[in-house]
Amino acid sequence: MYETSYHRPSSLAEATQLAAEKGDEAKYLSGGMTLIPTMKQRLAAPEALIDLRHVGELKGISVNGRSIRIGGGTTHAEVATNEEIKSVCPGFAALAGLIGDPAVRHMGTVGGSVANFDPAADYPAALLALGGTIHTDKREIPADEFFQGLFETALDEGEIVTAVSFDAPDQCAYEKFRNPASRYAMCGVFVAKRADGVKVGVTGAGASGAFRWSDGEQALSGNFAPEAVDGLTVPEGDMVSDIHGSSAYRANLVKVVTKRAVKKAHSH
């Protein structure tokens, strides 16, 4: 790891001020579960790290009725074990419990994952399917507009994800088809059903990061059953192709994993 300098603000204002002073040589550090390994590989070398783990404004989960808001600094373990989220939106809590391993879930945060937008990150699939909102220190951004491409979000330089929020749907579930070695999603699908239709968020498979599978949404809105997507074909051209699987394999996975997610949604 190249040299860096560590800063520990205790408020959002202090954090953004530090970021403004350090400019683009600075990076925010949340749980560090992606950033620190990346720095160790010398693929990232920020001159300054601004640790957000001690910023109180980023903490906490609030559930009012079916409306859920999760602070950006909340860890995956906190989401996975939160009784209120488990009771109102079990599919979302279950997703958090599938990220990494227990030690990673103790450190990694919702805000960090969302801001990084790894193409195999789990939360983006859920936030797209739930029609969620990403809150920052400056504004609120709908998930559909927030996630833009590979590691690319609507965030401006120095902007911090302070929370994510969404209303719990009538039914939802996340199904993750893991790479057997890395345990990252080769394809992860979050399905969410409401009175006005079904939304399907897919991660791990798309060449431009998580996306909504609109053909699947249309079919499932008519009939929320696994077989509803049987006749559909997912375009191969939009899929990742690498040593772990061809684009054709991943395109097929989108369908298979969606069917499993729908089945799971009926059992939650």
Binding site for other proteins (CB under 8 A): 1-6, 8, 29, 32-33, 36-37, 39-40, 49, 51, 53, 77, 100-104, 106-107, 183
CA distances from 246 to 33, 205, 232, 252, 255 (A): 28, 10, 19, 10, 15
What DSSP string describes 154-181? SPPTT--EEEEEEE--SEEEEEEEE-TT
According to DSSP, the residues that pair with 245 across neighbouring strands are: 242
Ramachandran region, residue 183 (left: φ > 0; alpha: ψ -120 to 50; beta: rest) = left
Q: Two tokens at 29?
A: 């550090």
Name which of 1 and 248 has its Cβ closer to other proteins.
1
Name which of 180 and 231 has its Cβ closer to other proteins.
180
Q: How far is the CB of 26 from other proteins (least distance, A)?
A: 13
Name which of 69 and 183 has its Cβ closer to other proteins.
183
Looking at residue 214, its amino acid is S
Q: How far is the CB of 75 from other proteins (least distance, A)?
A: 9
Name which of 30 and 247 has its Cβ closer to other proteins.
30
Q: How far is the CB of 71 from other proteins (least distance, A)?
A: 18
Q: Two tokens at 219?
A: 């079919």
Q: How far is the CB of 48 from other proteins (least distance, A)?
A: 9
Residue 29 CB burial class (10 angstroms; 0-12, 13-18, ≥19): buried
Q: How far is the CB of 179 from other proteins (least distance, A)?
A: 12
Name which of 39 and 125 has its Cβ closer to other proteins.
39
Name which of 104 and 207 has its Cβ closer to other proteins.
104
Q: How far is the CB of 3 from other proteins (least distance, A)?
A: 6
According to DSSP, the residues that pair with 242 across neighbouring strands are: 245
Residue 23 is given by DSSP the state G
